[in-house]
Chains A and B, each alone.
Chain A
Amino acid sequence: KAGVTQTPRYLIKTRGQQVTLSCSPISGHRSVSWYQQTPGQGLQFLFEYFSETQRNKGNFPGRFSGRQFSNSRSEMNVSTLELGDSALYLCASSPSKTSGGHNEQFFGPGTRLTVL
């Protein structure tokens, strides 16, 4: 099975712009989670989608949004970019056939966003 793919891998934007990142989960996985990784804050949870519905949300401002399509692919959008949004954005998919924390999350390689 192909792993989680994320596009683009690298992105450079300027302050005030908006950006859309894409994530394709492992085939058959219906849950997609997004994380932001920065040197100062480490890995922080953004949101999780399951069957096109946001199931969980982290503590991020409304400039960060996401969605999931019927084929389980997910996008996240950041509007009005700030310098502090520079980070590695990781997507993870999970089969999540049942509830429970044992469902393993499989991570993609990430999108490195640099805001100038």
Chain B
Amino acid sequence: AQSVTQLDSQVPVFEEAPVELRCNYSSSVSVYLFWYVQYPNQGLQLLLKYLSGSTLVESINGFEAEFNKSQTSFHLRKPSVHISDTAEYFCAVRPLSGYSTLTFGKGTMLLVSP
């Protein structure tokens, strides 16, 4: 079984400041890792994913996440946030093989203010 812990339920930050959203996971098998974003009244959109290779993955809108196997973490970072980044962010894992589903963390609400 897998579990995902997002340590912060809410992260307030000022515009143009850097931000880190923390994600730790637990799993008895190897997993793929994902970050999803949910804007108000919308479904989830995939932000970025780690499948293999370089442990640093980037999204098209400036977010990046680094897979750390020894610390079982997949923290999400952005060097300079915008008001439009205000949303809820979910970390998720999924086993490498089989038809297992996504296991999500409880989410972190990123609140960007001017």
A positions within 8 Å CB-CB of B: 4, 33, 42-43, 45, 48, 50, 55-56, 58, 90, 92, 96, 99-102, 104-110
Beta-carbon contact of A108 and B101 below 8 Å: no
Q: Which residues of B contact A105 (CB under 8 A)?
A: 46, 102
Chain A residue with the shortest CB-CB distance to B45 = A107
B32 interface residue (CB < 8 Å to A) = yes
In the assembled complex, the CB of B22 is this many whole angstroms from the nearest CB of chain A, namely 16
Partner of B99, one of A56, A92, A102, A109: A56
- Known A-B contacts A104-B46, A107-B43, A110-B43; the reply to A56 vs B100 at CB < 8 A is yes
- Known A-B contacts A101-B31, A108-B43; the reply to A43 vs B97 at CB < 8 A is no
Could you tell me how many residues of chain B have their Cβ less than 8 Å away from some Cβ of chain A? 26
Instruction: List 14 extra interface pairs beyond A90-B44, A104-B46, CB under 8 A.
Output: A42-B104, A42-B106, A43-B90, A45-B102, A50-B99, A56-B101, A96-B99, A99-B99, A101-B96, A101-B97, A101-B98, A102-B51, A107-B43, A109-B42
14 contacts between A and B (CB under 8 A): A42-B90, A42-B104, A42-B105, A42-B107, A45-B101, A56-B101, A99-B98, A101-B97, A101-B100, A104-B46, A107-B36, A108-B43, A109-B41, A109-B42
Partner of A101, one of B32, B41, B105: B32
6 closest Cβ contacts across the A-B interface? A101-B94, A107-B43, A43-B104, A107-B44, A42-B106, A109-B43
Beta-carbon contact of A104 and B99 below 8 Å: no
Chain B residue with the shortest CB-CB distance to A6 = B43
Q: Which residues of B contact A107 (CB under 8 A)?
A: 36, 43-45
In the assembled complex, the CB of A32 is this many whole angstroms from the nearest CB of chain B, namely 12
